[in-house]
Structure 1
């Protein structure tokens, strides 16, 4: 049984993507080459590694066993590459971060910008996910560092405080709701909304909340950033839900009013989570310390 690191990395990407095609793209391999590698792995093992359906692929029992060992071996290989990089002048390692929408848009750009400026040999792979998804993926070893809402059960993961924020409703100045001190999300569902695109973790979260209440979230426009959402709100297209930090920042130049949401989920204590800080590569441990060192409360 001869599997090289390319085989193991490809297999991990395929399982995480749920598709040989998308896994090959993530591994930067042609589809034909990726398919050949998978077939050769299965032939070498003498057992199928993937269950193939029209909806995609999933690991067999043997595949799940391989995936578990592959993640350990790839992490060790990454630490080896990082330890040796100082001798060759190459990159000191790649850090995989999984973040919810709030942290990704409002806090990480500045924090990662200063870290990368201080560590030019480090690269970062950043992916947006729902908080509960992140916990499971970090526990499985898919990512190095997760940033999740503080209300999520993180199980046995090591956690550290990151930032505090809250979601607010934004309306145009002069709107009938502009004088409200606070409002419940459920009572807003009769209004038109402006939101983020369907791939956004936050938008999926809000759509699910509306569905649980039994009312649709009436989205007139879906955009790629909170700033763009606020601009559309200012133009009277609909209401928006954005982090308080966003509303405070753009409110200096836009004619919008922020209103507190009464719902408990609107409060956002953001938390860093890792499987084990001691097991992280040096660069990932340094990033955890860097992120922990930032301001704890939003201004």
Structure 2
């Protein structure tokens, strides 16, 4: 089925103005020509797109569905035009990256800087999403590469280990736990927890761990951003579990202590996700190879097991 852009733009104009006459005018079409285009499109699709009313037209369910798809197509066309135009300015590619907050806070910036210095003609965009959103964005083609923490939720992805991370505990310096060097997760469950918004991988995992212990996670405050968490902890509003890298930095900036979380699951991995495909675009392949050199995978797996063993010994 071939659909021309003029007719699709006309559908958007009619939906926006709720009038065939006004839609035709907006698209610089004669009313008769617009009416014929709409009738031909409805005949080709086999559905009514608009219901004629006394005061104009209203999209049918099919019409609303088509409008959603046209808007998505329009966004893709604009992105395509923008990316292609950039080649005339010396840009040789566009890499769309999505990553969870932990990866952005701990390890990704330095690797992005190194990649950009070696490939200055590749334009990079980066978006902060939850791990579940990262996987969906890559699987659905809205991003080229994703960095997330397991579990892997989508079988349309190819994933590989990128970096090892540890979760740590942040408490106010005046807190009862502040004198300890390491704490168990169970020790935190009698205290209010300051955490990330619902959907963040660590937050959901801790909720499951609390349930396994027969307790409820007292997640009184949920915010976006590790810096906001640190300030709320400093104010005495709770304790927090967050990646060790930013936790140690906050311990130098705020009146808080960074403690070891003595749980095997506190050692975790960041993984790189790409769509399952026989081949990837060159720019994507170069970026993935920069993040995950083939020889580094075995070492990273061994480091993860060693970190988990170390945390078990601290229990």
TM-score in same-fold range (> 0.5): yes
Contact 1:146 1:274 in 2 (8 A): yes
Question: 2:124 aligned with 1:123, yes or no?
Answer: yes
Report how far residue 292 of structure 1 moved: 2.6
CA distance 1:251–1:134, shift in 2 (3 Å): same
Unaligned runs of 5+ in 1: 11-23
Report how far residue 272 of structure 1 moved: 0.7
Task: Report the Cα distance in structure 2 between the residues aligned to 1:89 and 1:165, rounded to whole angstroms.
Answer: 39
Contact 1:172 1:178 in 2 (8 A): yes
Task: Report the Cα distance in structure 2 between the residues aligned to 1:30 and 1:292, rounded to whole angstroms.
Answer: 49
Deviations 1:181-217 (A, max 9, x none): 5433344222122233457554455456556655142
Unaligned runs of 5+ in 2: 18-22, 28-36, 50-59, 305-315
1:111 alignment partner in structure 2: 111
Task: Report the Cα distance in structure 1 between the residues aligned to 2:271 and 2:166, rounded to whole angstroms.
Answer: 14
Report how far residue 146 of structure 1 moved: 1.9
Question: How is 1:271-290 mapped onto 2 (pairs within 5 angstroms)?
Answer: 271-276=271-276, 279-290=279-290
Contact 1:234 1:255 in 2 (8 A): yes
Task: Report the Cα distance in structure 2 between the residues aligned to 1:195 and 1:262, rounded to whole angstroms.
Answer: 18
Contact 2:156 2:276 in 1 (8 A): no
Q: Number of matched residues? A: 258
1:189 alignment partner in structure 2: 189
Task: Report the Cα distance in structure 1 between the residues aligned to 2:215 and 2:253, rounded to whole angstroms.
Answer: 36
Report how far residue 281 of structure 1 moved: 2.5
Report how far residue 141 of structure 1 moved: 3.2
- Aligned to 1:32, which of 12, 16, 22? 16
Task: Report the Cα distance in structure 2 between the residues aligned to 1:30 and 1:126, rounded to whole angstroms.
Answer: 33
Report how far residue 270 of structure 1 moved: 0.9
Contact 2:193 2:217 in 1 (8 A): no
SS in 2 for 1:252: helix
- Decide which structure has the larger Cα Rg and report it: 2
Contact 1:151 1:269 in 2 (8 A): no
Task: Report the Cα distance in structure 2 between the residues aligned to 1:269 and 1:48, rounded to whole angstroms.
Answer: 51
Structure 2 length as normaliser, TM-score? 0.61
1:239 alignment partner in structure 2: 239
CA RMSD of aligned residues (A): 4.7
CA distance 1:30–1:146, shift in 2 (3 Å): farther
Structure 1 length as normaliser, TM-score? 0.63
Report how far residue 229 of structure 1 moved: 1.8
CA distance 1:136–1:195, shift in 2 (3 Å): closer
